[in-house]
Structures are given as C-alpha cells and as structure tokens.
Structure 1
Amino acid sequence: MTRRDVGAILFDKDGTLFDFDATWSVWAANLLVRLANGETSRARKLGDLIGFDVEQARFSPDSFVIAGTPDDLVDTLSPEFPELSRTQLFTLINNEAESAPMAEAVPLAPLLDHFLAHDLCLGVATNDAERPALSHLEEAGIRDRFAFVAGSDSGFGAKPAPGQLLAFCDAIGVHPHRAVMVGDSTHDLIAGRTAGMLTVAVLTGLAEAPVLAPHADVVLPDIGHLPAWIGLDELGARPKSDGNRRVPTG
C-alpha cells in the first residue's frame, strides 16, 4: 500500500467531524423558538429567513447557515430584533450553539488517534465561532487531539478565504501541499484549493457529491474512509512508526 505524502489534516467541524443535520437542526429549532418567545408563526418566519423549515426541522440545502458564520446569521436576524444589539444577539446565538447536541459522523477518538499514531498533525478550521467550537470538541472528548483550532472570530478570517488554513500550516510547520483540507461544503474545498492543499469532500453535510466533486481531489462518504485514501494501515493496526502521540494545545 502506497502512502500519500501527507503530513497534516485540517478538518471542518460541522458536517465533517459531526453530522450536520443531526446536530444543527436541533440547534436551529431551539434558537428560533427561543427568539420567537414560543410563537410558532414568528419562529416559522425567522426560519424562512435563514433557510430552515421549522415544521420539518430541516435546513434547505442552499441555506447560508450551512457554511456561514455567526456574523452572517446576526446580519440576517438583526433587523427582526431592534431591541437587541449585535453583541447581544451574537452572544445568544453562541450560547445556544454551545449546548447543541454533537452527533459524531463516525467514532472520532479512535480515528483521530489512528492519524496521530501515524505522525499526522491535526487541526480544525470552522466558520463557527471559536468558543462553541472548543466546547464541542471538549464535549466529544477530542480537544487534545488537535494542534490547532480556529473559528471565524479567531483572527484568520472565515472560509472560503484561506486564512485559517494557511495559519494552520504555519503553526505546525507543514507546507500546504503536504496538508489535506477535509470538509462538507464548497467553502471548505475552495479554501483548500486556494491555500494549495489537497481537498477531500465528505457527504456527512447537506451538499451532494455533484456539487462538491469539482472542487475536491476525492469525495468520500465520511472521514472514516480517510485512512484508506491516504494509504495508512487499517484502523486498529499497529503502525510501523512508534507514534501514538497527541499534540497538546495552548
């Protein structure tokens, strides 16, 4: 088995590490009902604004929320809540996001440990805000596997711009051409291509393969198929290196 020349993997969070629909549909429904003070008709109107069907509890595949930032959401909802400042609305959204139920796309801890055992450095680049992103990783018990975690408010910009991706490569000392960007949206993949990284699309978000394929080196069902694509030993097999290291984060 030939291993690709890959030294690092950068993951999107929502729709990649965690199943998007199972996680964020619950969050959106709770947020909209809370904002609407329980008024169904108002919650429905707010849902229409962000591409979310309150009755079905599902996002439209073209909803900007899927790959957007909390600031994008604040921009859209602010006119509906003149009594709230942008900061207040942003805080409310982030507080609700921190309590969103995280549904792992695949069992994450053994998969991430498998990558680390093969001396791959790992990071997360999300358009979510940094605080809820860290909370979600902590809740899943995987925060310590990542050498780098950046959100849209971490100072590197947001995808599809490549700032987070280039910051990751700079922080860990790996050239972008030896790094892989893994994501479920065109924002992730465009950012990866712009940064000069390999790009892997996964289908655990809402975007379908024909939408993602033009921007990806490969489209996989989920991140559990990454080891085979990279050319690693099977999950659970002892690597030839004496790795199994975890990279502490500051």
Structure 2
Amino acid sequence: MSLDRFGEIAGILFDKDGTLIRYDESWGPVNREAARIAAAGRPHLELPLLKAAGMDPLSGHTLADSLFAAGNAAEIAAGFVAAGSPLAVDDLTELLDALFVRATDYAVPVTDLRVLFSALKGRGLKLGIASSDNELSIRQTMTRFDITEYVDLVAGYDSGFGSKPEPGMVLGFCAATGLPPARIAMIGDNNHDMMMGAGAGALLKIGVLTGTGTRESLEPHADICLSSIAALTTLLPPA
C-alpha cells in the first residue's frame, strides 16, 4: 500500500479496546470477573465460561475475533448462557454492561492519548471512537484520559448505529462529520473493525497489534498493520 494514501485521510474512527487501550492488561481482570458473574455462584463453571468466550485462563491471553475480543455485552451474555451460565441472557447482559463501565478503572492506554488526539486534531482531522462496548464505557474512558474535547462521534453497540461488523458506525461518523467514507480511516485490532470499514467503503482499514489481533489474522483484511496507533503521527503528513 502506498503511504501517499495517508495524505487523503480527513477523519479517523478508532476502535477502543485493543486500539486505544492495551487489551490483555486492561481486560484480563474484567473478563475473569465477567465469567465469575456468569457462573452465578457455581465456581466450576468459571474456567469453561472463560474458554468459551475466548480467554486462556492460564496465560490470560484472549484470542483474536473471539467473543471477548469482538462481541458486545449481549453477544457475550448469549455465549455464556450457551456455554452453561444459568442466568437469563437479558439479566446477564445488564450485569455485564455495568461491569464494563467499571472496567475503565483497569484501562491501560497504548500511548499518551491526550497528546496523540491533540496532535491529530491539530492536523485538522475529525476523530471518532466506535466500540462493541457500551457508550457509557466509551465516555468514561474518554473522561479518564482527558480526550473528550477531541472526539466528534462516540458509537457504542447501544448508540443506535448497529453493531460491528455492520457498517453503521462508520456511516454514522461520516454523517456526523460531513466526510465521505473515502476520506475515512478505520483503525482496530480485530477483523470486525476491518469488515466494518470495508462494508462502509472506508479509504483505509488499519490494523494495530496492541489488542487480540495478530499480524497473521489482520493482514488479509487490513490495508496496513501498525505496531500501535502511536505510529500515526509519523505516517500522516504535517498539518
């Protein structure tokens, strides 16, 4: 891919988990707690539930494109119930959504997000965040890392734009910013992000290696893979 295409970018839509924050460090404790909640007082269920959702209970690593990596609270709840959780899907979804809001306390950023977002905004770029997490969790993360003023659109699975890998979040970002998809870069650590960008006709689909996705899993679907979003400032042209 020609790096000249970075000069055509007018807006960047970021995934959150694994893209803005490091996945395993941030979500390992949260995923274990999610399995504990889903087990509902049956400790023997916790390890099978973790594995069913894609997390290795020994290493703490979560598999690319697994339920934990790419699913929203409702999808994870349904997967837990299918794997043996005795709770109702709706009740478990509510419990998981509340947990994921609290998960902001565990978030480990991949870089100084305020410095990065300020620099990108200074280049005249529109910025958005699109996550399979709920909108409140995204906003809590923005507040914690002091980037709210730089974000033009927040899209969670419950924000009315649909869920990944459907194109709705990208199209919502375009509607909010007035930019066509052909001027948008979609950045994420999972193939749901790449598929969402492709479905909307985004200019670039950029994979990052700070989450659950690997170079091998992302390269077939991404236009380029970066070690992290910190590399953006060296690839984009000056303001």
TM-score, normalised with respect to structure 1: 0.85
Where does 1:66-145 land on structure 2 (aligned, <5 Å)?
66-79=69-82, 80-82=84-86, 84-100=87-103, 101-145=106-150
Question: Does the alignment pair 1:47 with 2:53?
Answer: no
The answer to whether the 8 Å contact 2:39/2:85 transfers is no
Aligned residue identity for 2:141: H
* Corresponding residue of 1:218: 224
Which whole-Å CA distance do the structure 2 matches of 1:188 and 1:203 have between them?
13
Structure richer in helix, relative to its length: 2
Which whole-Å CA distance do the structure 2 matches of 1:213 and 1:165 have between them?
20
Question: Does the alignment pair 1:57 with 2:60?
Answer: yes
Q: What are the ranges of 5 or more consecutive residues in structure 1 without an aligned counterpart? A: 233-238, 240-250
SS of the aligned residue for 2:47 comes to helix
* Corresponding residue of 1:18: 21
Select between 153-162 and 41-50 the one with higher mean Cα deviation: 41-50
Which whole-Å CA distance do the structure 2 matches of 1:179 and 1:62 have between them?
23
Q: What are the ranges of 5 or more consecutive residues in structure 2 without an aligned counterpart? A: none
Q: How many residues align?
A: 232
Where does 1:171-186 land on structure 2 (aligned, <5 Å)?
171-186=176-191
CA RMSD, 1 decimal: 2.0
The answer to whether the 8 Å contact 1:102/1:140 transfers is no
CA positional deviation for 1:38? 6.2
Which whole-Å CA distance do the structure 2 matches of 1:227 and 1:9 have between them?
12
CA positional deviation for 1:98? 1.4
SS of the aligned residue for 2:206 comes to strand
* Corresponding residue of 1:204: 210
Which whole-Å CA distance do the structure 1 matches of 2:88 and 2:220 have between them?
40
Select between 164-173 and 35-44 the one with higher mean Cα deviation: 35-44
CA positional deviation for 1:12? 0.5
Aligned residue identity for 1:231: P
Which whole-Å CA distance do the structure 2 matches of 1:62 and 1:183 have between them?
11
Is the alpha carbon distance of 1:172 and 1:62 closer, same or farther for their aligned partners in structure 2, counting shifts above 3 Å?
A: closer
CA positional deviation for 1:20? 0.9
TM-score, normalised with respect to structure 2: 0.89
After superposition, the C-alpha distances for 1:118-171 in whole angstroms (9 at most, x for unaligned) are 110100111112122222222222222211000111111111111110110111
Which whole-Å CA distance do the structure 1 matches of 2:20 and 2:132 have between them?
13
Is the alpha carbon distance of 1:112 and 1:62 closer, same or farther for their aligned partners in structure 2, counting shifts above 3 Å?
A: closer
| Higher alpha-carbon Rg | 1
Is the alpha carbon distance of 1:10 and 1:62 closer, same or farther for their aligned partners in structure 2, counting shifts above 3 Å?
A: closer
